[in-house]
Amino acid sequence: MKQLLVFVKKEFIQVFRDRSTLLLLFGLPIAQIVLFGFALSNEIKDSKVVVVDYSKDEVSSRIIAKIGASKYFDVERSLANADQLEAAFKKGIIKSAIVFPASFADDLLHTNKASIQIIADASDPNLATAVTAYLTQIINDYQIQSGRAVGLPLQIIPEIHMLYNPELKGAPNFVPGVMALVLMLVCTMMTSVAIVKEKELGTMEVLLVSPFKPLYIIIAKLTPNLIISIVNFFIILLLSSIFLDLHVQGSLLLLTLDSILFILTSLSIGLWLSIGAQTQQAAMTSSLMGMMLPTLLLTGFMFPIENMPLPMQWLSNLVPSRWYFIIVKQVMLKGLGINYVWKETLILLGMCILLFTISLRKFKIRLQ
């Protein structure tokens, strides 16, 4: 046992002496979150909104005036019909539009109820959400004010259309994605490189020839990366709470446990990759090509899995991060409990046990 502790201590010393790796380990999540926080800022100012007013009545003009008066929007009236609108969206000149149907004033007058269409370019999902939220807010304000004046409750129902990215994949989805990516990277790459490094140095030969148990070598190699990854996990949570205003909605304990499970799975993959590789470079390449790409492509945070061809969808089932991504979304964003993620958790657990067993069996107590 003492031997194991000394080995783990040695691993930690080595990690902390390697400044550039350390910087990568902790700098990566920070950089990702901060960059994302700034790149997709929610702030909207003088955003151009196009109005297509088929109704042209008193109420619609008042709502338009109110929108124009807010600091968030500049109203452009130039477009007369829906075709022009579509063209403008496609060219990317405008980001949002409001359409008052021809029957707007009539409906409002006779039924006290009318709809307005709000259309937003959701290829920038953050902006689209914010713009529609502000527009809805302004319309609601108007309803409350005018309702009071008339004495009757007016109901204007905004119908929101998100163009190009109806599911609004964006900030909230990005954080679970970053978590999956960073944990995968750190665990897989660092583990395989750390083990292969011993082979390159020739120290692995000495370790194997010593009475030190091969299982201990594995445990000692995994421990520092496990701890570093857990720390990284909390850093990401903290950063997304500070910079992105994204807090854990569900159980932190559940999220942490599932994350540890995912970390262990990734560590097992790292171990597995290290068995075949003879040089650090090979280990690095196989982690990057074999793990990073599938994680990026098949996890679902960059490209929706539902839209992929069937074989890709099947393939994505084999990617652990896909299941972890779902768990984080459910627990962190939607605040759901174990009832909603037990299936994904079981799948991860199965993968973890399988991968670790394979790696353990394949880990060579000899050189061939």
CA gap 190, 263 in Å, rounded: 12
Query: Measured from the CB of residue 18, what is the shortest distance to other proteins in angstroms?
Result: 7
Query: Measured from the CB of residue 6, what is the shortest distance to other proteins in angstroms?
Result: 4
Please, which residue, 140 or 281, has the CB nearer to other proteins? Answer: 281
Q: What angle do CA 181, 122, 341 make, to 5 degrees?
A: 45
Query: Measured from the CB of residue 270, what is the shortest distance to other proteins in angstroms?
Result: 20
Please, which residue, 19 or 361, has the CB nearer to other proteins? Answer: 19
Phi then psi for 305, rounded to 5 degrees? -65, -35
Q: What angle do CA 67, 69, 75 make, to 5 degrees?
A: 55
Q: 118 has which bridge partners?
A: 98, 160
Position 57: which residue type? Answer: D
Query: Measured from the CB of residue 203, what is the shortest distance to other proteins in angstroms?
Result: 7
Phi then psi for 40, rounded to 5 degrees? -115, 55
- List contacts with other proteins (CB under 8 A): 2-3, 6-7, 10, 13-14, 17-18, 201-203, 205-212, 365-368
Query: Measured from the CB of residue 224, what is the shortest distance to other proteins in angstroms?
Result: 14
Position 13: which residue type? Answer: I
Please, which residue, 77 or 213, has the CB nearer to other proteins? Answer: 213
DSSP 349: H
Q: Which uninterrupted H or E stretch holds 97?
A: strand 96-100
Please, which residue, 5 or 312, has the CB nearer to other proteins? Answer: 5
Position 226: which residue type? Answer: L
Helix (H, G, I), strand (E, B) or coil at 75: strand
If one counts every other C-beta atom within 10 angstroms of the C-beta of residue 81, the result is: 10
Please, which residue, 206 or 353, has the CB nearer to other proteins? Answer: 206
Question: 196 near 274, Cβ under 8 Å?
Answer: yes
Query: Measured from the CB of residue 11, what is the shortest distance to other proteins in angstroms?
Result: 10
Please, which residue, 8 or 184, has the CB nearer to other proteins? Answer: 8
Please, which residue, 17 or 71, has the CB nearer to other proteins? Answer: 17
User: What would the DSSP string read from start to end of 283-304?
Assistant: HHHHHIIIIIHHHHHHSSSSS-
Query: Measured from the CB of residue 25, what is the shortest distance to other proteins in angstroms?
Result: 16
